[in-house]
Structure 1
Amino acid sequence: MESRPLRYFVAVAEELNFARAAERLGISPPPLSRAIRRLEAELGVTLFERTTHSVTRTPAGDVLLAEARVVLDALEAAGRRTRRAAAEPKLVLAVKADGDAGLLEPILTRYAAEPGSVPVAVRLCGWQEQPRLLRGGEADVALVHAPFDGAGLDTETLAVEPRVAVLASNHPLASRDRMELADLGLNAGTVDRHIDGARRGHGDLAQVLTAVSLGEVVTLLPASVAARYPRPGVAYRPVSDAPPAVLSLAWPQQSRSTATAALVRTATAVAEEARDGA
């Protein structure tokens, strides 16, 4: 199966209109229709139900749309990685600025001392952007907190640490030494959604902590953040039943880069030493 028919199929599957899909692709409708017919004949399935007024995907079409997007993204990512390798051999590591559990610097230092290591460019990114950068070929490896979309990625857990409540120092709960999720109006099933909403609504960590100090938001953060970012007006308090924060290293499943493999080994060793020394 070639990539062009897949691109044609994705355009029709997303537009559900042959004329709009043809315009999007820069071709006329008749050759587009013929290409879809050939693809259906090749696969031996019907991908679209067509009437004079509508086009809808069949169940087979739904499956192929999901698979085709993965394939086309992988092709584009391969091109990006190839161009980057030709321009300058290096690794790109994606990480949220405050999302490394204190491991980024020791990982980079240890890896730089390894024989045959290549330069590592750190790409600072937004909340949960790392999987997209990996699948798109814009990064080779990433540090990312769970939960995240791991489709097409291999992962290695580096750190599991408690979460703490982050609240204004004048908040009524700040006088407590410890609390439970229920005190914050949360339960184990709503924690991730709550954290995701707080981070997306306030951008980077500095903005989150400012919002906390102003009493606009209460959230949960990994304990390592509390240790590294003390701030006037912000109180960090243990939450006895909060699910832990899990930091993973992620990289594309199809990666065959020896440099990426070496960085993964180094990061795993550094994280293990950090756990043993804790």
Structure 2
Amino acid sequence: MTVESRPVRYFVAVAEEGSFTRAAARLGIAGPALSRAIRNLETELGVRLFERSTRVVELTEPGVVLLTHARPALEALDAAARRAVRASASQRSLLLAVKADADGGLLEDILAAAATEPDAGPVAVRLCGWREHTRLLRTGEADAALMFEPYDPAGIDADVVAVEPRVAALPADHPLATAARVRLTDLGIAPENVTERAERDIHQLGVHDLAQLLALVGLGTTITVLPRSVAARYPRQAVAYVPIEDCPPAALVIAWPQHSRSRGVAALVRAATAVATSRGIGTAVEAER
């Protein structure tokens, strides 16, 4: 069975809006035309996708299944179109998504190493926000991404580039601020919460980035946990960074779309791995002395 993408896009719009009227306005088409398209899609599939009433439009069980698979399929189609357009551009740069100051301190060396790889070609950096990397990969807006775990792995392949210790970010007047090292129990942090601690703190405290979070740390409002390389980029007189004895390491990965066959991406991955190895921060965390 072959289904056209347009009625599927219409279906997704209705499902997301919960209303034919709002979906029609969003799509810029007439309501009757939208209703016909959905009825035709239901006829073609032989299932009912929506339960309709005068007030509510609800998905049926087949509708839920279709929505679950339709969204990533449409994203993949849009991504393929973007990549095709970008591939036609002369001297096309490979786009590497990176969050500012969250590159393990390796970005400049990786770019320099990639420049020596014949297959890599020119590499341009696409700066992005927290957890935005994988969306850019899935939508075709980036070819590769350098980021710390965790990340949404759907449709993504990745190699670990480097691992590094984490440190506690404490107010400078905190009782543990002058300690040689601390344990997670000293900080009241559970091991399973470490990986997403800084991101969770940012959301819960209503701040927008790490600089604002560290301002609150300096004021004594909170404490947090960061990869050591990130902490090194944010020295603050009011903040003390203390090694954590029993903290799981931070893993920096280079990721790419699962179905990518780009030789340029492969060359960039090789360059990133080589740089981390040359720095002695590959897959084993250096011991704290």
Answer yes or no: same fold by TM over 0.5: yes
2:150 is aligned with what amino acid?
Answer: P
CA offsets 1:49-86 (integer angstroms, 9 cap, x no match): 22344321012211211221112222222222233333
Aligned pair partner of 1:249 in 249, 254, 267: 254
**How far 1:95 moved relative to its partner?**
0.7
In the alignment, does 2:93 pair up with 1:95? no
1:270 is aligned with what amino acid?
Answer: V
Aligned residue number for residue 72 of structure 1: 74
Aligned residue number for residue 211 of structure 2: 206
Aligned residue number for residue 188 of structure 1: 191
Aligned runs of 1:106-185 on 2, under 5 Å?
106-185=109-188
1:214 is aligned with what amino acid?
Answer: L
2:86 is aligned with what amino acid?
Answer: R
CA offsets 1:83-123 (integer angstroms, 9 cap, x no match): 33333411111111111112212211111011243211112
Task: Quote the Cα distance in structure 2 between the aligned partners of 1:276 and 1:189.
Answer: 23
Task: Quote the Cα distance in structure 1 between the aligned partners of 2:17 and 2:28.
Answer: 14
SS in 1 for 2:199: helix
In the alignment, does 2:43 pair up with 1:41? yes
SS in 1 for 2:134: helix
Unaligned 5+ runs, structure 2: none
Q: TM-score, normalised by structure 2?
A: 0.87
Number of residues of Structure 1 aligned to a counterpart in Structure 2: 278
Task: Quote the Cα distance in structure 2 between the aligned partners of 1:22 and 1:205.
Answer: 40
Whether the 8 Å contact between 2:150 and 2:196 is mirrored in structure 1 is no
Aligned residue number for residue 30 of structure 1: 32
Unaligned 5+ runs, structure 1: none
- Stretch deviating more after TM superposition (140-149 or 75-84): 75-84
Whether the 8 Å contact between 1:127 and 1:199 is mirrored in structure 2 is no
Task: Quote the Cα distance in structure 1 between the aligned partners of 2:281 and 2:135.
Answer: 32
SS in 2 for 1:122: strand
Aligned residue number for residue 271 of structure 2: 266
Identity of paired residues, percent? 59
Aligned runs of 1:212-227 on 2, under 5 Å?
212-227=217-232
**How far 1:229 moved relative to its partner?**
4.4
- Stretch deviating more after TM superposition (24-33 or 157-166): 24-33
Whether the 8 Å contact between 1:95 and 1:123 is mirrored in structure 2 is yes
2:125 is aligned with what amino acid?
Answer: V
Task: Quote the Cα distance in structure 2 between the aligned partners of 1:69 and 1:46.
Answer: 18
Q: TM-score, normalised by structure 1?
A: 0.90
- Stretch deviating more after TM superposition (102-111 or 48-57): 48-57
Aligned residue number for residue 197 of structure 1: 200
Task: Quote the Cα distance in structure 1 between the aligned partners of 2:56 and 2:233.
Answer: 57
Task: Quote the Cα distance in structure 2 between the aligned partners of 1:193 and 1:151.
Answer: 18
Aligned residue number for residue 237 of structure 1: 242
- Stretch deviating more after TM superposition (234-243 or 46-55): 46-55
As a proportion of its length, which structure holds more helix?
1
Aligned residue number for residue 50 of structure 1: 52
**How far 1:193 moved relative to its partner?**
4.4
**How far 1:227 moved relative to its partner?**
4.3
CA offsets 1:195-246 (integer angstroms, 9 cap, x no match): 2133454434433333322323311111223445444232111222222211
1:255 is aligned with what amino acid?
Answer: S
1:235 is aligned with what amino acid?
Answer: A
Whether the 8 Å contact between 1:11 and 1:21 is mirrored in structure 2 is yes
1:251 is aligned with what amino acid?
Answer: W
Whether the 8 Å contact between 2:18 and 2:57 is mirrored in structure 1 is yes
Task: Quote the Cα distance in structure 2 between the aligned partners of 1:23 and 1:210.
Answer: 43
RMSD of Structure 2 on Structure 1 (CA):
2.2
